[in-house]
A and B are shown apart, each in its own frame.
Chain A
Amino acid sequence: MSAGSPLQIALIGNPNSGKTSLFNHLTGLNQKVGNFPGVTVEKKIGGFRSGTTEMEVTDLPGIYSIYPRSIDERIVSEILLGHHQTHQPDLAVVVVDATNLKRGLLLATQVIDLGLPVILVLNMMDLVAQSGISYDLARLSQRLKVPVIPINARAGSGVEALKIAIAGGSNPVTNQIFQGWSETNSAVDLIQESLSVDNRYEAYLMLEQPHSLGFLTAEDQKVITGIRNQSGFVPGKFQGAETIQRYGFIQDLITEITLKPGNETLHNKSLAYDAILTHKIWGYLIFFGILFLIFQSIFAWATIPMDLIDSAFASLSSIIHHQLGSGPLVRLVADGIIPGIGGILIFVPQIAILFAFIAVLEETGYMARVVFLMDKVMRKFGLNGRSVVPLMSGIACAIPAIMATRTIDNWKERIITILVTPLMSCSARLPIFTILIALIIPDQMVLGFFNLQGLALMFLYLLGFIAAILSAWVMSKIIRLKERSYLIMELPTYRMPRWNNVGLTILEKTRSFVVEAGKVILAISIVLWVLASYGPGDNIEQAEERVAEQYKNARLTEQGFKDKVAAYKLEHSYAGILGKGLEPVIKPLGYDWKIGIALLTSFAAREVFVGTMATIYSIGSVDQDDEATIKNRMRDEINPETGEHRFTPAVGLSLLVFYTFAMQCMSTLAVVYRETKGWKWPVIQLIYMTALAYLSAFIVYQVLS
């Protein structure tokens, strides 16, 4: 570490140890999210100052042991094990949940043995006191040979003392807690000699799991294999025994430092709550009630801010037009870029609300119970207990739902969840469903109080849901993954959420969405706008004259004329030409080129379908709520070949089924790109969903006509 560059601190600890609360206390708003190179695991980095020293804190994923269970944990292992090479971090702050002292100390002893400078933080000391337990922390510090700082990260007490301690630094411990065995010691000696490794535990780990240590060269690996064979060291055989040895030490240590043993009240209270929350009837009822609440809130609370954002950007567009006229650059900004940005920001309310709920569920510890309740069912379909929340949220909007899959650590289960979530009919499909149902399904009552149109709508939602779980099942058979899936999950005691953490989570999630996915969405918006506004030749420019010529004998109002011009322009734009080109492909589904154009433009966002149809049928700028006009026009449209109505029930149903399955949302693809760090999966998703939509619509149409 050179003078002037900040001190590098790594925050290590078990999940649920309150590490994140501590991180937030230390860094406040001064944090950002980055990436570990090459993998989809995120790292949170923040900074703070103590006295005159600048510190940079990295919050590492929570782990139980230095032996990794998942990609997340592998990253932490590599960072810790590589510290002699990288000279980072300068200091490891190991956070242990003091109410889980025994288990938490396992990791602590491993980190200490690695020879890293360590400060041990005991969090949740208030809960320890509440249980009547009393520890001799001075003794603990003496025995482990590291500074021990008690804190309560929720309230923030002890954090100042911690900052001072961090600034003061710590010296690496030189002796080892884990002693190894006579059988292994000679092999370890050899490694230390041949690879000049000072730290004994590190040498031991090189014997145990050399392949997870990225900094070892091929040469090194050969030396290690040689030594292994020579001394008959069988990797894995000793890992369990090491754990037992460590726990032996820890148990003795805890006995030594416990002044008062305390009671079980906290755990018993938690178990009492669990009796209801995991009850076979109440448990599920409460859970679905909460899901319903989340889903309703996203719909209800998000609508007002969304409408505000919508109209704000629409006004901005027209103001720019008013002030600056209609040159091409103005149109690019006012009709392409501004609606594009508006189209990104409009998702913010939904994302914020969903993540607020998820953060609260995580903070209270309830989320673990969700996984617990849903694990068995979800696994049958290749999904994870934690997949439920993204799936259900997908009914409001797939974008925050897909972002929420981060909580799933098994990569295969996560990717399948991401791939199938868009099949849950999102709110953008609603305007399309509504208008088409109104067109082809009679407004009748069935069985007294069931409205036929309402039933049709429910049926479509059910269809989406069934498609989602069936697709998940199919994918789980196709995608091969060697990683064994575990549950072995801690059920933390219930606790009140820390609202600061919730707030910071919301900020972080919305910021990353707007910046990352936003770029892609904006780019595609502009492309589509260009396609819809420009066309070959001079058709677009001559639009007014041509339309005037065409309708010279008809009496058109000014608005009527404008609408016809808009329709003409759309028809002759690149989008229009593509739509016409698309016609042979979509004819077997019962569609014509007008629908083709709408299919293309609604790729930007499904809601655009209604607006495009309005333009094509020269209704001009129509409020999406003004369905009556669009509906009537569509109903009157005649299919030139058959002389019959264009929108027969067969066509209508075919279109409905198509939209239920089709991936008509570039924003979703942008988010999938971001979450999977590549174009491979969004492309696969686009292909399978389009294929599903096409085939289903084809079957429906052919069967019904």
Chain B
Amino acid sequence: MSRFGTLHLPPATDPGARAYKEWLHLNLFALDAEVVALMNVSLHGPPLDRRARSVAVALGSGADGEWSGGIEISGMTEARVEPQGIFHSTISLATAPDQTALLASVRRPDDGFVADIVARPCLPDIDLDLYAAFGSGWIGWAVMPAMELSGRLRLGDAEIGLEGATGYHDSNWGRWFWGEDIAWEWGTFVLAGGTVVVFARNCNRLHDHLGAAHVFLVHDGKVFPFAPDRISITFEESAPRPGRRLPGALAAIYPDRARPDLPGRITLCGESPTAIFELVFEARSTAQLILAEPTMPGTSWINEIAGKCSLVGQLNGGRIRRDGMGIFEYVE
């Protein structure tokens, strides 16, 4: 049984607590409905500082390319923060008490997003915990790349069936400041039949100093890793401009970020002794999350690009050709 972690809240004596960041993240891919959704709850800043923030986001991109959902921000002391999860009044993510599932709840009918999701890991316990230097500090990453989903999701006027839908869950934690010269590129691509490809690499804000790429492919219950030097990724064309930028107040003072230069077509290739694949992702819609550092000036932008993808490859000698959907984060 896969192991869910607990939040890594810093103790009061932690000298690096000012830079504390952590989140729980769940993506949902309903291929039949062409829906991609994300739910995220996060903590920013030293927990005992009244400026520290808890941020909850739920956004879903439907077949029409429109984004439903919204953002809720509160003081960290006002949100309910417990070792197994973070609870806001309209968006919550937490591990179930028996540690067998991740539970997500969203109640934002005015923003067109209502959900109660149960996500159970499809894979046995796998060790996908990574740590890396990140700006002035470091970042940790734990991943559950394939989740079986149940529950209900309503986007706009449509009830989205979750039978056959796939989830992706990860958590990040560490110490850094928004506004530093830090960024990342991350993508999760879910193909028909439950094949999942995950890509991630840290970089600087200009994306011209790139860290080692991490790619793994999940297929038929097996994980196929790829060495960084056997991975290639190319960016072409331009993604649509963000249809939603949140929070709105920060979007208002950064009009220069309303049309970021984002990739509209991404080609990801990987090769290993047991697997070779090429995945092509085409952007359909974009949303932008603007993150401000709560204890000092500094801002970062997370661009969420949703779209369709297709994969061809050979895994353990067997050919594979699948279509699906994905989401790619391009951070600046």
Co-assembled chains A and B: no
